[in-house]
Amino acid sequence: MKKTFAKKSFGQNFLVDQNYISKIIAALNPKQGETIIEIGAGRGALTEMLIEKAGKVFAIELDRDLIPFLKEKFRGKENFELVESDALEINFAEIISNSESRIQNPESAKLIANLPYNISTAILQRLIEQKDCFSELILMFQREVVERITAKVGNSERGFLTVITEAYLTAEKLFDVPPTAFLPAPKVWSSVVRLLPKDEKIGDINLFREIVSAGFVQKRKTIFNNLKNKFGDVENVLQQCRIDSKRRAETLTIEEWKCLASSFEFRL
C-alpha cells in the first residue's frame, strides 16, 4: 500500500495515538443501525473502528492522494462508503437520505471529525447550518477554538463563534489531546467537544448572524456603539430587550441576543 503523508496545504495532522482514537470513538458510542459521517478520514484511524461498530459509515475525504489509500484499505467493507468531496460544499442530508440505517432510525445520524485547523471555523458554521441532519456531533478542534465555543457569559474568550454555536447547539468540552498524539505533531493542543442540536428555531438566521457579528466587531466597545455603526439608532431596541447600552457583547446571554434579533426583525 502506497505511503501517505500529511499535507500542510490541507492542514493535516493524522491522529495516531490508539488511546485517544479509542477515547474519541467511545465518546461517539457508535452502534449497529446508526449512520455515521466522518469528515476528513485521513489514514482511516477513526474510520476503521467506526466500520466495526456502526451500521453505515460515510467517510468524506478531499485529498486525492488519500482517496486510493482509503479505497484499498477498506475494500470489501459493505458498510463503508467514501465520499470524494469538500466538506464545506456538502449537502449532508443528501448523503444520508438513502442510507438504510437512516431510514430505519431517523434520529441515528451522527458526525465525527478531526478537523483541519485552517478550516475548522468555516466547517463548524457549515455544520450549524445543517444541524438538523444529526443527533450528535463529536469534533476535535484546536484547543483555543473549543475554549471560544464553550466560553461562558462574561468570559473574554466569548465571541461570534460562541454565540452562533450556543444559539443552535449545546456544547460540552470532553477532553484535551496533546500534540504527541498526531503525526506530524502540531504546535498546539487539541480538544474534543460534543455538540447536541437544539430544537428551537431563530427567525432570520442571516440577520441573527449580522447582529452578533456587528456586536463583536470591536470587543472593547459597548454593544450600543457596535450595533449603532451597523444598524443606526438602536437605543429603542436595546431598551425593549432591557439591555444596558454600556454593556459589552461578551456579557450578553443567548436569550438577549435572540431578543435583539426578534426586535430588529420586527423593526425591519
Q: List the beta bridge partners of residue 113.
A: 39, 139
Q: How far apart are CA 219 and CA 226, in angstroms?
A: 9
Same fold for the domain at 8-197 and the one at 205-267?
no
Separation of CA 156 from chain center:
21
pLDDT tens digits, residue range 147-200? 999 999 999 999 999 999 999 999 999 999 999 999 999 999 999 999 999 987
92 neighbors 133 (Cβ within 8 angstroms)? yes
- SS3 state at 244: coil
Q: How far apart are CA 131 and CA 25, in angstroms?
A: 20
Q: How far apart are CA 54 and CA 32, in angstroms?
A: 5
What are the angstrom distances between the C-alpha of 199 and each of 50, 106, 138, 167, 194?
27, 15, 18, 10, 16
Q: What are the structural domain ranges in the chain?
A: 8-197, 205-267
214: cell is: 456587528
State the DSSP H helix or E strand holding residue 239, giving kind and residue range, or none if neither. Answer: helix 235-240
If you average pLDDT over residues 66-95, what whole number do you get?
94
- Write the single-letter amino acid at 252: L
5 neighbors 26 (Cβ within 8 angstroms)? no
At 152 the pLDDT is: 97
* 205-267: CATH architecture: Orthogonal Bundle (1.10)
At 108 the pLDDT is: 61
Instruction: Residues 8-197: name the CATH superfamily.
Output: Vaccinia Virus protein VP39 (3.40.50.150)
